[in-house]
Structure 1
Amino acid sequence: MLLRRPLLTARIPRSVVPVLTSPARRWGSTVSQRPGSDRVVFPGAINSEFTSDMAFITGRDLPAIPTFRVINSDGEMVDKTRAPPNVSDEEVITWYKNMLQVSIMDTIMFDAHRQGRISFYMVSQGEEGISIGSAAALIPDDVAFSQYREAGVYQQRGFTLKDFMSQLFANCNDNGKGRNMPVHYGQKYPRIITVSSPLATQIPQASGAAYALKIKDLQNPNQAPRVVACYLGEGAASEGDFHAGLNIAATRSCPVIFVVRNNGYAISTPTIEQYRGDGIASRGVGYGMDTIRVDGNDVFAMYEAMSEARRRALSDGCQPVLIEAMSYRVSHHSTSDDSFAYRARVEVEDWKRRDNPIIRLRKWLENKGLWNEDLEKETRDSMRQAVLKEFKEAERLKKPPIREAFTDVYEEITEEAQEQMKELKRIIETYPDEYDLRPYQDGLKGLE
């Protein structure tokens, strides 16, 4: 059987193959085995030494991957000898306000669901630092694929309260034209791909998008290099799409950063029932990615890790990076979940007291004299009023025309869809008492 040379080798010039991958550096230029060699040079093994000792490697014998942090729960620098975070005070205050606004919106919208005013909601309580800190390190041209607990990413990237409320109420101002469940946000620029309900589908999509950006950016020297940020929870890492997506990214050297929120629970399944290895970070190492584990309750640590991850993703011909952000899901999984059915209430309350990204950053600001109780009360009151104002406005607006349910699939509405539109119109006209068209713009207009 002939051994073929690996497809990607250092001998191929970049001008010929612009998608060179960094793993090529780890292989030798030949696959032949020299007599007396002390290392494996088969294509499937990377720089592996021969040994006569039979030893199985187990995770129990290896030290756990450390968790990077910059400030502790008291808002103080962990390493007093290092320079403070290289971020302006104004920018940090903006981060804090963005975290506050997401938190306040979460409280109001969770209650709105309990009142029957929206059909569904998911809160980000305890995880605001992950999304705000990581998104702050991106540029507007970077592309983000979120899951459904990344309201902070949208907030940091310019999503307005009107945008949030329009989507949650699926009104005529909704970017998605009322077609998605609540919290399935999306926007054209800065680019954030619309949330998809099926778990983990965004992971291989993000790898593919990163590969496309890599090729386009190489072809256009005037385009600043871009990365893709892919957000997911540790529960999504149990899906097959996770492994497919990471393998695509690794073998194609895609400039994608996987930000994994490890908040302890995948819906009702604790991490102890999800995996036996060293979290999700160990999987990044297994796929040959630069990997780091970060204290997700430390917004500075998230920002610094994401900034460095972005630099690495675009260096040396591009490569994927994985960040495991450690946190705790303080809230229920969604408004459809009662987490106290599978975890003790005292556990949640203990985490609320023990650590919180908002409280930690507030302590840092107070230690520097940049924040106080009066500012806190004034800011919270004004934000609450702003959320309620947009809430009331969005709630009273009509929903998009029914016709929009058939558009934007193809450039032109297909004959089959046109027949479906006519049939829908016939049914509504035949049973008018069963269908209330008052909430919709234009009524039956366009259904012909």
Structure 2
Amino acid sequence: MEGNELFRLTRLRLAAWYALVMGCIMGASGLGVYHVVAHAYRETIDKGLESVANALHNSIEPALQQPKNLQQLAKQLSLELCVTQADCLTQTGVIKNQIAQAAGTVNYYMRLLNRSGQPIALAGIHLEELPLTSPTKHWQMPQDRSGIHYHQITLPLYTQNQVSGYIQVGRSLKDLDEHLAALRLTLLLGCPIIMIFIAICSWWLAGLAMQPVYRSYKQMEQFTADAAHEFRTPLAAMHSTIDAAFRLHGQAGSESGFQSPSGILQVLKRQNVRLSQLVGDLLLLARLDQQQQRVEYHSCCLNDLISDLVEELAFLAVEAEVKLAQIQTPEKLYVLGNEEQLYRLISNLIVNAIQATACGGNVTVFLERSERYALIQVQDTGIGIAREHQSRIFDRFYRVNKDRSRTSGGSGLGLAIAQAIAKAYKGSIHVQSQQGLGSTFTVKLPLQP
């Protein structure tokens, strides 16, 4: 396949398309995995943040039911009051301990705001001038000057059914951003490696996919060459015969190589018959291959068919000085099919066996039953078939002995037609042979239910 430019380019295109499709699928899958992981991270953070905020809210709000304000509560909780946001230093008092206990991590912070949204106290991680955000928004994502993102939840604090302030609980997203950045880097670096691996696999798979097509192409090339060679022989004979006819007509009375014009016509007729038979065989094979052979199937008795064939081909066996016999089961065996095709199948095997058997040899046709199948065996004592040829004798135009086939007029299509007909009947045909000891062709056909 490598030496054929057409198939090499086709394989390259097939591999490229396969790699492109697989690359798109892998890219979409990687993008989906990234979004799923990121969404899972955010869901986990939201749940954890909400849990911490609710725990702190439930701890602080009951204390506000006493007659006090947020400043008094902050003093009670050992938090310094904030004059400005810059004065809100990280504390180590009760609030921070509650955050650490609720969250189990130091990535959280808490801010107490008064009713106007001004900070009163801060606990948790150290914030580098994190801007104040609106207390009316439930979820927010602020960012400090160093570029670190935070996820924040705001809950109102009520005193006697009136809003007395707000509690803001937030979490740093630095670890999440680092994890997602590592995941993006892994996907970006892994994509080229995966694409190289996909390209190699695509080239290999394209080669495997192209092999049956390439074999069929080579068989078609061989078939075309053999068919052209077979057509050339009768056409050349007809051409030379016609030339001789012209010479005979132009040189009346001279020696032209033919006894009479009728001899020329006989040669033309014989070659025309040979050419017509060859075309008919090729057309039959094409229709059987494409399953376009529309014939009427009916019940056919193999016993009667084989008896008729042995009787009809007896003259051919007599001419070749070969003994032709049959051994059949007494049970009548019927198959559902076309009698003409079955006749062609069995006659091709018998004719080949007679032609392959030397003078004084035997050709025997057996018919027996094997469960739900009929077995037809054509056994000869001829020259046999070498092992290296047995796998190819059913190929079209393949001849083991080309010289003998030319003498007998065979085209190398007989066994190919027999195999095609057997397959059309959902049967099989195989050969057992040993060089110098003869051959046995066995046809297995399903019996009529």
TM-score clears 0.5:
no
More helix by share: 2
- Return the structure number with greater strand share: 2
Give TM-score, length-normalised by structure 1: 0.17
Greater RCO, CA 8 A, separation 6+: 1
Q: Which structure's CA Rg is the greater one?
A: 2
TM-score (ref. length: structure 2) = 0.17
